[in-house]
Amino acid sequence: MKPAHAVYDQELRFGGKICVAKTDLGHDVAVWMPPGRDLPVQPLQDRHHPLVQRAHELMHGRGMIGPFRGLLFCHGHALGTFEKYGYSVYGGDGMELVLSDEYIRLAPRTLTGARAGDIIVWRRSGTIVHSAKLEIVLRNNPTSETTKISSKDTYSGFSHDWLTHYLREWGDDWRIYRHR
């Protein structure tokens, strides 16, 4: 059996590699790795932009295309898999599987018990649409105005802002998860 987070079955597509990785519990999950040997630091070459945009067009429709900036997706940032292993987990079933295998859910739509290092996940119609990291959470009485989030938008860079900002952008169907 392959160890957790081992990457295999690599297929060169969309300007990088579509791969399979193992979760902590040994389940297969689809992931994307950018091109290059020094994965976390090598910039995405201009020639890859159309390929990556085509991948997003196939997955999300024509209206979601924008300039791709970066080597990772929001889930790769939130889960920390890009920094540790060089890949981003795809959304949908893959992200649900990782959350199920590796994380515990805290109470929905509350910051009670949340702490820095936890992740926040937004859903629309039951489907995960975005994830981010909690960076600053007050120990006593945390609020959306006092909780700082680190986010990675697929089509742009990183942002660090208060949870209030992200609630306006992503909605109020959110939940906090903590790594087991």
3-state secondary structure of 149: strand
Range of the domain at 94: 7-179
Assess if residue 1 is contained within a domain.
no
Give percent of the chain with pLDDT exceeding 70. 74
Assess if residue 124 is contained within a domain.
yes
Assess if residue 65 is contained within a domain.
yes
72, 74, 90: which is closest to 20 by C-alpha?
90
**Where does the pLDDT of residue 130 fall: very low under 50, low under 70, confident under 90, or very high at 90 and above?**
very high
**How many independent structural domains does the chain possess?**
1
Q: pTM to 2 decimals?
A: 0.78
Assess if residue 37 is contained within a domain.
yes
Tokens 């609020």 locate to 143
- pLDDT score, position 70: 54
Assess if residue 2 is contained within a domain.
no
Tens-place pLDDT, residues 143-165: 999 999 998 876 556 788 999 99
Token representation of residue 64? 């979601």
- pLDDT score, position 10: 75
Average pLDDT value for residue range 39-65:
44
pLDDT at 169 over 50: yes
Assess if residue 49 is contained within a domain.
yes
Q: DSSP characters for 81-131?
A: HHHHHS-EE-STHHHHHHHHHHEEEEEET--TT--TT-EEEEEETTEEEEE
